[in-house]
Structure 1
């Protein structure tokens, strides 16, 4: 008997689905959970047949709720099973025939080899001739954005063939996402929680240009990219708010210290306004953007050290490039500060506010 549980979310499965499940049973999978995510009424006889198989449990959504919700229904069912600890983990399999039995077995073997906290991904090659250009483009964009925003390079960020240890199910069942964005959020949470990734090469299967897929190219892509940029947008909003606060307090302190000579008045107002805006920026980044519980003193030192470095790099780079190219200083500063802004986000996320204890 295999030590892994199979979870298959499915919507209107084709005629090959029942033979596929029977092959999994032949490979000694004793627990196969199929989540019927609102399939049409004419598919009822198929699910009745599946229910009669002793190795199969069928969970049913009366309406289509999305792949993410279907996966979480399967995970939640496993967590309520008193015998779940007898298994090493769960393998999620797409119901459209894209994952071969041999590749499922590969992940089972890898799950048994790996430590209890490794998320195993079955990764495809997108350089093969049978890959639709939309899938190749989508994966290329997504994996590079994921690397840029979260600092983790993955071959295939959209794979549905995944091995999840039992110990991590409670983490993944609680995260947001109802449709395909849930699988992306699983990767985001795994990075945040310092969960180890293991990648296993699998066969790249696209049947009739992927017509069986229920992925909505527009809606689901928007959901996925909104999720990927969600944290960065929060970072941007805090930065913009800090800029406005800096301007407001600069004007306030100019008025407050109007009795000073002009030069001293500007210097004092600039310094005090920057102190107020930076404290605001630090608190919101720590609590809201990065949700960090890292040691406050250590984080403060790192944060203001980074701010000093960024300011120095910006000034030196603008001066050096102006001397080299004679491009307008304002244009150079906009370009350089935009690059430094993205770099600052990555450093704050991965170093300054990173909780090391996890």
Structure 2
């Protein structure tokens, strides 16, 4: 694996780390282990690895997996200007040496893709908390982020060099960094999955530094952040929209087609506000303003037209006094559709 580094963040490792690296060394010449503040009790293990030719980077105190990975990314990028990328693996023996090497080989053939080593979650050896946790995050990734990923929590990843540079400024110091990495990949690279085997001590007693409560909260908070911001953005723009709509309806009710006129004027103001908030805050978009603005205008026109037509139809059925409630019901449906369209086609850089 020429110009590909193997990075292993490690906190309080045991002999399995030594065995893993001994198995990797015949095929991997550049192995970087990050001692993430393990303490003096574990110095002997890291000294033994260093004597065998492994690069050891150390944190004075435990700073988390995300920070350990960033420390290693920075080191590898500075040491090898021709770096193709790196393969990250866990230090607890979960990943087989042949799968780590295979991940690096796939990265060599696809240097613009994020390669994910994906576990088979139907395997009885996978702990239940890992199985169910992955199913939940996999579903959230698909519906909230638009990413269809088999194994969202895998630590075996082949990361291109240009993506490593981008990841140095991606938020997250602990396990949530790996979640942010997947989300950030939408703006930087494709995702390629390979099947791997995962070894556990036992389904009921697998040693891990992943805190199922604290770290899960961090991960789900990240996944829900975009949608929550979208809700807040939409609600605030809806307040602007509905307020102007109600005022204009009251002023223009005697005129023919007043609902269409009120809808159009209110939507112009609220849509301008909504675009600015969504671009800069909700989706943190890097798309070109010119393209995204045109797409957003087209969406706003279509959405506004549908809103006017559907509200007019409902008002014709239930009466003029239900103008605002009818618009609320229609816009809730359009809101769900709009989130998907904006995320995938308007503010998505790719």
The TM tier, using the shorter chain, reads 0.7 to 0.9
Alpha-carbon displacement from aligned partner over 1:221-260 (angstroms, at most 9, x marks no partner): 1111111122222211111111222345457x56xx98x6
Please give the secondary structure, in 1, of the residue aligned with 2:193.
Answer: strand
Report the alpha carbon displacement of residue 15 of structure 1 after superposing the two structures with TM.
2.1
1:109 and 2:105 correspond: yes
- Matches of 2:17 and 2:73, distance apart in 1: 21
Cα-to-partner distance string for 1:167-200 (whole Å, 9 max, x where unaligned) = 322111221111111111111111123x111111
SS of residue matched to 1:65: coil
2:342 maps to 1:348: yes
Contact 2:106–2:115 (8 Å) recurs in 1: yes
1-side partners of 2:219 and 2:292: how far apart?
A: 31
Structure 1 runs, 4 residues or longer, greater than 6 Å off: 317-320, 329-336
2:139 is aligned with 1:144: yes
Report the CA distance between 1:333 and its aligned residue. Answer: 8.1
Q: Which one of 189, 207, 210 corresponds to residue 212 of structure 1?
A: 207
Show the counterpart of 2:254: 263
Residues 149-171 of structure 1: CA deviation (Å, up to 9, x unaligned): 22221111111001112232211
Show CA shifts across 1:24-52 (max 9, x none).
Answer: 11x23111111111113311221122222
CA distance in 2, matches of 1:318, 1:208: 62
Map 1:200-239; keep pairs closer than 5 Å.
200-209=194-203, 211-239=206-234
Aligned pairs, how many? 340
Q: Distance in 2 between the 1:295 and 1:185 partners?
A: 22
**Partner of 1:48 in structure 2?**
47
Secondary structure, counterpart of 2:211 in structure 1 = coil
Q: 1:37, 1:63 within 8 Å by CA — same for their partners in 2?
A: yes
- Could you tell me how far 1:291 is from its partner in structure 2? 3.5
1:132 alignment partner in structure 2: 127
Q: Is the 8 A contact 2:64 2:175 kept in 1?
A: yes
Superposed displacement of residue 335, structure 1: 7.4
| Structure 1 residue 303 displacement after superposition | 2.1
The answer (yes or no) to whether the contact 1:93–1:99 under 8 Å persists in 2 is: yes
Measured after TM superposition, the shift of residue 313 of structure 1 is 5.4
Contact 2:127 2:206 in 1 (8 A): no
Distance change in 2, residues 1:333/1:122 (3 Å): farther
Matched residue of 1:263: which SS? Answer: coil
Could you say if the C-alpha distance between residues 317 and 145 of structure 1 is closer, same or farther in structure 2, counting changes exceeding 3 Å?
A: farther
Partner of 2:76: 78
- 8 Å CA contact retained: 2:88, 2:156: yes
Question: Cα 1:283–1:16, aligned 2, differ >3 Å: closer, same or farther?
Answer: closer
Q: 2:118 aligns with which of 120, 123, 127?
A: 123
Q: Is the 8 A contact 1:68 1:183 kept in 2?
A: yes
Alignment pair present for 1:245 and 2:240: yes
Contact 1:126 1:204 in 2 (8 A): no
CA drift of 1:288 comes to 2.6
CA distance in 2, matches of 1:76, 1:190: 18
Q: Which moved more, 1:205-214 or 1:304-313?
A: 304-313
Higher alpha-carbon deviation: 174-183 or 143-152:
143-152
Aligned to 2:320: none
Q: 1:57 aligns with which of 52, 55, 58?
A: 55
Task: Supply the distance in 1 between the matched residues of 2:98 and 2:286 (Cα, whole angstroms).
Answer: 43
Deviations 1:250-299 (A, max 9, x none): 57x56xx98x6753597566553332222111222223323445455543
- Aligned partners of 2:7 and 2:69 also within 8 Å: yes
Equivalent residue of 1:80, what SS? Answer: helix
Separation (CA, whole Å) in 2 of partners of 1:208 and 1:250: 62
Change in Cα spacing, 1:302 to 1:32, as seen in structure 2 (3 Å) is: same
SS at match of 2:151: coil
Residue in structure 2 matched with residue 326 of structure 1 by the alignment: none
Give runs of aligned pairs for residues 25-36 of structure 1, distance below 5 A.
Answer: 25=25, 27-36=26-35
